[in-house]
């Protein structure tokens, strides 16, 4: 029997051994009480029993125990006095004291199970809860526990129900606090038992989801002496982080703060966050001023209990309760009170549904029959467990209801700031909406919102009586300055170089770093260490790797921020923009005989010429019927269209163009639609003409430079050698990203090597072009004789930054300082001190930049085209209307003698040839025919009237 039970408790070996001993003792020990059961194999009750046993397993001489005992006693009295529940069955609460001992607690738990309890409440200890959960699983007794260990899973322990919120939620509240105040690393001080280890493990998981971490875990045994805690805190004080989480037992937790106070750790710069144990201590009894002095500025969490009249009424009668003594009420008392009522409601439902409080004395484990007369299996345990899980009521702590994972719904905590002689509630945390100054009960009525903008807390007074949010970290308190590695450059020493008088380093990068350090609100002791032999530029990838491998604390210099490096170190905000460019030798280009074509692109020339013809044709159509200048043989009309359309470009001003056109065609005969189209077209021509003149002037007056290499694409397509700076990341980039053969790359040390390689060219052992970062090229061009220039565009975008070890908080502060340098102009002044701008401008592409493309004028062409089509549409609509109304008579009069009768024909029978002939007629002829038609109609009407009068005469 003992072997089998030990195997079932294999995860707690010493507990298993204890249980074996106890079970052997139980077999010969007389029963202390059997409740409703007797010695028969199965005892059942036909009617409701007179009483039912409920067990309470706590350390009653503790902060939690002194609060839960009077609360549970009051709950039993209230239930037994209330006739509406259990209906004649009274609750018999059996207390068992674990006495703060794992051995004693386990022993008491086994003895409690001998007394045929239907439900057990407790324990508060996570270690004992693990053991007793195995026991209740075998005996089928539901366990309502106040242990907060998040690893007490309902899957492993099906009869375990947590009657209080798990530490899982408390740790996520702390993680949200860390993120809210902008910290990234914490130190965890905890008691080394199931409660402490598992709680801190949950904290680590919560922080990892927020991209934060526990940088140091400081554990001490449950019975640690004050000296041991002192040694532990001395180690903590040497760490970088100043955010300290304290997760310990209530009865020994104040010792931690007492030692921290003596070490000067409750002061400015430190942040102390205590879990719910501290609020339990402060709420349980009046605290003397000397104890409160230890806790000034500390943040503490407390299990949230909803405000209600029921809760306040219970608090008002606390002192009159039996067993209350001098203790004060805390959140555990509310949950203990509600646990008894939860048990009572479940038992009432269980009995109402016909359940029997029956126990079996035959205990079988792993197939072995155990004849234990004092340990019994509760036959209705599974049914009662289901009743417990389905309960829902409002108690002192709020709504009591379990979710699918057997946790109480609506987990929430109060966030307290210990200040003066008490605590100030600065807000709440709930799993529903995160941090808020509004009570969780109010937020439950609204949609959930965990966005960062909705997270709010009231102001805090931190240790040292400061209101400014602490930075959260300091340099390790070991007197060792930061080791800053600096590249020992061979070329471009304006950026960083060895300074012999006084000894040290100097340059643009160093001045930026020092200026940023001065803006930090704390001193940063540091030493510069040169990296490289001084004969060649160091490999910057190796330099960054040494920082990542903790050989150096940071790297300062012309270090480019690229993807591979950001994976292993943290960079600051870039302090100078950078990117790869191509420089190549250039030569002056004389103006071409066809330079007049360069102002416009090919597409622009084609579209412009097409619109000249389009507008000429539109004006010809609109003027053809009324203007004799637009009539004649087809060849003459075609010449007129071309001449008229292209002649408009030679009028410089709009008013002179209109006057010239009027002189050409005659003001009285020019159509309104033609004038409309022409005015818009002349406006377009005026803009195009002005733009063409300006562009041509720019092209002819700017000195043009040309190079056989036009950019990275043409350089990549060639087979010429390419120069790169020694130690630059450009080598790997050209090989890996652009697939350029490594044999084409030639490393160059300094500016002199650049100039020599470009001057010799690829045919004489030099290079066709050099690929390097823009800051270096700008310095190189400053000392060149303008025979080399940047060709093409910058084909990568990056910047230079200072490299720090991963998760170094100094990187964030330095980034802020660099932004301040940029805003106040200091960054530009440092740039002007060390780096001069090139007097040569890159003009090789300015001719192309001055060319005008269609994209700049498509709006004008669109307006002109729409105007032409609108005018032509109106014209053709008017002609068609005339043709449909008057064409039959006009055609008939033209084909036969006017005296002959005219045969009418509709528009549907008119041929296309007739329509074209009608359109080709002069407007004057059409009007003359209209007059003749109207006259004939009048004469016919007159003759008809005469004949009618004659016929009517006698």
Q: Residue 55 pLDDT > 50, yes or no? A: yes
Q: Which residue has the tokens 């493309």?
A: 853
Rounded CA separation 301/297 (Å) = 13
Burial of 669 (0-12, 13-18, 19+ CB in 10 A): middle
Q: How confident is the model over 83-96, as pLDDT tens digits? A: 888 888 999 999 98
Q: How confident is the model over 677-690, as pLDDT tens digits? A: 777 877 788 888 88
The token pair at 861 is: 């062409």
What pLDDT is recorded for position 261? 94
Question: Are 667 and 683 within one domain?
Answer: yes
Burial of 389 (0-12, 13-18, 19+ CB in 10 A): middle
Does residue 606 sit within a domain? yes
What pLDDT is recorded for position 646? 65
What does the pLDDT average to over 666-675? Answer: 58
Rounded CA separation 787/585 (Å) = 6
The token pair at 551 is: 């050989």
441: closest CA among 398, 393, 391?
A: 398
Q: Which of 780, 797, 814 is the last residue of a domain?
A: 797
What does the pLDDT average to over 309-335? Answer: 87
Average pLDDT value over all residues in the chain: 81
Higher pLDDT, 168 or 369: 168
702: closest CA among 599, 562, 833, 578?
A: 599
Question: Are 185 and 284 within one domain?
Answer: yes
- Give the model's confidence band at 223: pLDDT under 50 very low, under 70 low, under 90 confident, else very high: confident
Question: Are 286 and 204 within one domain?
Answer: yes
What pLDDT is recorded for position 12? 43
- Give the model's confidence band at 516: pLDDT under 50 very low, under 70 low, under 90 confident, else very high: very high
Higher pLDDT, 59 or 803: 803
Are 731 and 721 spatial neighbours (Cβ–Cβ below 8 Å)? no
The token pair at 657 is: 């163009």
Higher pLDDT, 627 or 70: 70
- Give the model's confidence band at 312: pLDDT under 50 very low, under 70 low, under 90 confident, else very high: very high
Q: Residue 811 pLDDT > 70, yes or no? A: yes
Q: Which of 736, 770, 797 is the last residue of a domain?
A: 797
Higher pLDDT, 901 or 175: 175
Burial of 830 (0-12, 13-18, 19+ CB in 10 A): buried
Q: In sequence order, which ranges of 153-268 are alpha helices (DSSP H)?
A: 167-180, 194-209, 226-237, 253-262
Residue 874: which H helix or E strand, with range? helix 858-895
Are 578 and 774 spatial neighbours (Cβ–Cβ below 8 Å)? yes
Rounded CA separation 225/173 (Å) = 30
> What DSSP string describes 24-79?
HHHHHSPPS--TT--SSSEE--SS--SEEEEEEEE-SSSHHHHHHHHHHHHHHHHH
What does the pLDDT average to over 416-445? Answer: 93
Question: Are 68 and 154 within one domain?
Answer: yes
Does residue 533 sit within a domain? yes
Rounded CA separation 251/164 (Å) = 19
Q: Residue 949 pLDDT > 60, yes or no? A: no
Does residue 211 sit within a domain? yes
Non-local (6+) Cβ contacts of 413 within 8 A are: 165, 169, 170, 173, 276, 301, 302, 303, 304, 428, 429, 430
Question: Are 225 and 344 within one domain?
Answer: no
Domain containing residue 79: CATH number: 3.40.50.2300
Rounded CA separation 358/52 (Å) = 11
Burial of 424 (0-12, 13-18, 19+ CB in 10 A): middle
The token pair at 131 is: 């053991």
Q: How confident is the model over 170-196, as pLDDT tens digits? A: 999 999 999 999 898 999 999 998 899
The token pair at 603 is: 């597409």
Domain containing residue 659: CATH number: 1.10.287
What pLDDT is recorded for position 656? 46
Rounded CA separation 471/626 (Å) = 88
Return the SS3 of 700: helix
Which residues on neighbouring strands pair with residue 299, listed in sequence order? 273, 417
Question: Are 424 and 295 within one domain?
Answer: yes
Least confident range from 225-239, 287-301, 923-937: namely 923-937
The token pair at 467 is: 């209101």
Q: Residue 466 pLDDT > 50, yes or no? A: yes
CA dihedral 430, 432, 438, 443 (to 10 degrees): -150
The two beta strands, 570-571 and 554-555, are unpaired
Question: Are 287 and 423 within one domain?
Answer: yes
Are 842 and 790 spatial neighbours (Cβ–Cβ below 8 Å)? yes
- Give the model's confidence band at 608: pLDDT under 50 very low, under 70 low, under 90 confident, else very high: confident
Rounded CA separation 408/182 (Å) = 30
Higher pLDDT, 670 or 393: 393
Q: Residue 898 pLDDT > 60, yes or no? A: no
Identify the DSSP state of 263.
Answer: T
Between the alpha carbon of residue 278 and those of residues 230, 255, 274, 324, 587, the distances in Å are 19, 12, 6, 20, 80
Rounded CA separation 565/592 (Å) = 49
Does residue 551 sit within a domain? yes
Non-local (6+) Cβ contacts of 188 within 8 A are: 200, 203, 204, 214, 216, 217, 218, 244, 245, 247
Q: How confident is the model over 117-175, as pLDDT tens digits? A: 999 998 888 888 888 888 888 888 999 999 899 988 778 889 999 999 999 999 999 99
Does residue 933 sit within a domain? no
Rounded CA separation 516/576 (Å) = 14
Least confident range from 12-16, 64-68, 498-502: namely 12-16
Report the predicted TM-score, pTM, of the whole model to 2 decimal places: 0.66
Question: Are 561 and 605 within one domain?
Answer: no
Q: How confident is the model over 785-805, as pLDDT tens digits? A: 778 888 888 989 999 999 999
- Give the model's confidence band at 28: pLDDT under 50 very low, under 70 low, under 90 confident, else very high: very low
Residue 502: is the preceding peptide bond cis (ω within 30°)? yes
Domain containing residue 553: CATH number: 3.40.190.10
Q: How confident is the model over 437-450, as pLDDT tens digits? A: 999 999 999 998 88
Q: Residue 206 pLDDT > 80, yes or no? A: yes
Residue 183: which H helix or E strand, with range? none
Higher pLDDT, 304 or 640: 304
Q: Which residue has the tokens 């410089």?
A: 652
Does residue 39 sit within a domain? no
Question: Are 370 and 507 within one domain?
Answer: no
Q: Which residue has the tokens 């025919």?
A: 929
Rounded CA separation 319/307 (Å) = 20
The two beta strands, 788-791 and 580-585, are antiparallel
> What DSSP string describes 554-588?
EE-SS-B--HHHHTTSEE---SEEE-EEEEEE-EE
Question: Are 611 and 562 within one domain?
Answer: no
Provide the percentage of residues in the chain whose pLDDT is more than 70: 77
Higher pLDDT, 213 or 362: 213
Least confident range from 446-455, 466-475, 584-593, 871-880: namely 584-593
SS3 content of the chain, % helix, strand, coil (to 5): 45, 15, 35
Question: Are 571 and 671 within one domain?
Answer: no
Higher pLDDT, 441 or 871: 441
What does the pLDDT average to over 344-366? Answer: 80
- Give the model's confidence band at 650: pLDDT under 50 very low, under 70 low, under 90 confident, else very high: low
What pLDDT is recorded for position 17? 45
Encode 768-811 in three state secondary structure.
Answer: CEEEEEHHHHHHHHHCCCCCEEEECCCCCCEEECCEECCCCHHH
Does residue 893 sit within a domain? no
Rounded CA separation 322/887 (Å) = 120
Provide the percentage of residues in the chain whose pLDDT is more than 90: 40
Are 387 and 350 spatial neighbours (Cβ–Cβ below 8 Å)? yes
Q: Residue 526 pLDDT > 50, yes or no? A: yes
Give the domain extent around 511: 482-578+804-835
Q: How confident is the model over 689-748, as pLDDT tens digits? A: 888 888 777 776 654 555 678 889 888 888 899 999 998 899 999 999 999 999 999 999
Non-local (6+) Cβ contacts of 542 within 8 A are: none
Q: How confident is the model over 251-274, as pLDDT tens digits? A: 788 999 999 999 999 999 899 999
Non-local (6+) Cβ contacts of 708 within 8 A are: 584, 714, 768
Are 16 and 134 spatial neighbours (Cβ–Cβ below 8 Å)? no
The two beta strands, 213-220 and 185-191, are parallel
Question: Are 365 and 500 within one domain?
Answer: no
- Give the model's confidence band at 44: pLDDT under 50 very low, under 70 low, under 90 confident, else very high: very low
Does residue 184 sit within a domain? yes
Least confident range from 31-40, 364-373, 410-419, 768-777: namely 31-40
What pLDDT is recorded for position 589? 58
Q: Residue 642 pLDDT > 50, yes or no? A: yes
Q: Which of 701, 727, 758 is the last residue of a domain?
A: 701
Question: What's the number of domains the chain is made of?
Answer: 5
């Amino acid at each position: 029997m003992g072997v089998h039970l030990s195997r079932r408790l294999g995860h707690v070996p010493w507990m298993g051994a204890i249980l074996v001993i106890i079970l052997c003792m139980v077999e010969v020990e007389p029963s202390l009480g059997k409740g409703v059961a007797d010695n028969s194999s199965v005892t059942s009750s036909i009617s409701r029993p007179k009483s039912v046993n409920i067990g309470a397993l706590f350390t009653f001489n503790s902060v939690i125990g002194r609060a839960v005992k009077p609360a549970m006693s009051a709950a039993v009295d209230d239930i037994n006095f209330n006739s509406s529940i259990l209906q004649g069955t009274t609750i018999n609460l059996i207390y068992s004291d674990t006495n703060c001992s794992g051995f004693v607690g386990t022993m008491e738990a086994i003895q409690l199970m001998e007394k045929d309890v239907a439900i057990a409440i407790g324990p508060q200890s996570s270690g004992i809860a693990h053991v007793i959960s195995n026991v209740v699983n075998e005996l089928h007794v539901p366990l309502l526990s106040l242990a907060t260990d998040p690893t007490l899973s309902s899957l492993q322990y099906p009869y375990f129900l947590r009657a209080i919120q798990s530490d899982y939620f408390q740790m996520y509240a702390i993680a949200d606090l860390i993120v809210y105040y902008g910290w990234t690393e914490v130190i965890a001080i905890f008691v080394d038992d199931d409660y402490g280890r598992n709680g801190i493990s949950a904290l680590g998981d919560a922080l990892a989801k927020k991209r934060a971490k526990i940088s140091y875990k400081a554990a001490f045994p449950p019975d640690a002496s004050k000296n041991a805690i002192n040694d532990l805190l001395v180690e903590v004080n040497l760490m970088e982080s100043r955010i300290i989480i304290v997760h310990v037992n209530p009865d020994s937790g104040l010792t931690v703060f007492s030692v921290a106070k003596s070490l000067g750790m409750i002061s400015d710069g430190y942040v102390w966050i205590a879990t719910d144990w501290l609020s339990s201590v402060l709420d349980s009894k009046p605290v003397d001023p000397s104890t409160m002095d230890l806790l000034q500025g500390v943040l503490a969490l407390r299990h949230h209990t909803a405000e209600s009249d029921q809760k306040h009424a219970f608090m008002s009668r606390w002192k009159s309760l039996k067993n209350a003594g001098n203790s004060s009420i805390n959140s555990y008392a509310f949950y203990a009170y509600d646990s008894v009522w939860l048990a009572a409601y479940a038992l009432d439902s269980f009995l109402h549904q016909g359940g029997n409080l029956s126990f079996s004395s035959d205990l079988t484990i792993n197939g072995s029959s155990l004849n234990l007369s004092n340990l019994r299996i509760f036959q209705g345990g599974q049914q009662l467990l289901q009743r417990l899980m389905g309960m829902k009521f409002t108690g002192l702590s709020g709504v009591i209801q379990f979710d699918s994972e057997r946790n109480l719904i609506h987990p929430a905590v109060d966030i307290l700031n210990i200040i003066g002689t008490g605590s100030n509630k600065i807000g709440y945390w709930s799993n529903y909406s995160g941090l808020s100054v509004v009570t969780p009960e109010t937020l439950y009525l609204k949609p959930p919102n965990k966005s960062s903008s909705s997270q709010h807390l009231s102001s805090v007074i931190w240790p040292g009586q400061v209101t400014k949010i602490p930075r959260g970290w300091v340099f390790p308190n070991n007197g060792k300055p930061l080791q800053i590695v600096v590249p020992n450059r061979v070329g471009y020493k304006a950026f960083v170089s060895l300074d012999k008088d006084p000894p040290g380093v100097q340059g643009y990068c160093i001045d930026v770093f020092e200026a940023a350090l001065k803006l930090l609100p704390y001193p940063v002791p540091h030493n510069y260490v040169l990296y490289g032999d001084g004969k060649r530029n160091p490999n910057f990838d190796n330099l960054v790797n040494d920082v990542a491998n903790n050989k150096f604390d940071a790297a300062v210099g012309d270090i480019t921020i690229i993807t591979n490096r950001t994976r292993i170190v943290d960079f600051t905000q870039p302090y100078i923009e950078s990117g790869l460019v191509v420089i190549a030798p250039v030569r002056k280009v004389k103006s071409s005989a066809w330079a007049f074509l360069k102002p416009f692109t090919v597409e622009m020339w084609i579209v412009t010429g097409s619109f000249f013809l389009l507008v000429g044709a539109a004006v010809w159509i609109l003027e053809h019927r009324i203007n004799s200048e637009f009539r004649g043989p087809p060849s003459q009309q075609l010449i007129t269209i071309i001449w008229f359309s292209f002649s408009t470009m030679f009028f410089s001003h709009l008013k002179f163009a209109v006057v010239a056109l009027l002189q050409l065609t005659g003001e009285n005969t020019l159509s309104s639609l033609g004038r409309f189209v022409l005015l818009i077209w002349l406006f377009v021509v005026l803009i195009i003409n002005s733009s063409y003149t300006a562009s041509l002037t720019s092209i002819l007056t700017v000195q043009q430079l040309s190079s056989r290499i036009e950019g990275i694409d043409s350089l990549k397509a060639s087979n010429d050698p390419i120069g790169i700076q020694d130690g630059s990341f450009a080598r790997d980039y050209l090989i890996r990203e652009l697939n350029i053969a490594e044999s084409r790359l030639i490393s160059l040390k300094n500016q002199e090597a650049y100039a020599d390689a470009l001057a010799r060219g690829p045919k004489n052992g030099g290079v066709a072009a050099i690929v390097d970062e823009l800051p270096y090229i700008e310095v190189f061009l400053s000392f060149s004789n303008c025979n080399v220039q940047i060709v093409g565009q910058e084909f990568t975008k990056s910047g230079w930054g200072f490299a720090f070890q991963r998760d170094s908080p100094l990187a964030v502060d330095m980034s802020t300082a660099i932004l301040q340098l940029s805003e106040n102009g200091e960054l530009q002044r440092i740039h002007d001190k060390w780096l001069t701008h090139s007097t040569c401008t890159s003009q090789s592409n300015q001719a192309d930049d001055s060319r005008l493309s269609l994209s700049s004028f498509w709006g004008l062409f669109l307006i002109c085209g729409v105007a032409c089509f609108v005018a032509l549409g109106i014209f053709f609509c008017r002609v068609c209307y005339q043709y449909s109304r008057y064409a039959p008579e006009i055609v008939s009069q033209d084909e036969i003698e006017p005296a002959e009768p005219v045969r009418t024909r509709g528009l549907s029978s008119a041929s296309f040839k007739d329509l074209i002939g009608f359109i080709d007629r002069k407007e004057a002829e059409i009007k003359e025919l209209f007059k003749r038609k109207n006259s004939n109609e009048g004469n016919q009407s007159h003759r008809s009237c005469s004949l009618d009068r004659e016929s009517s005469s006698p």
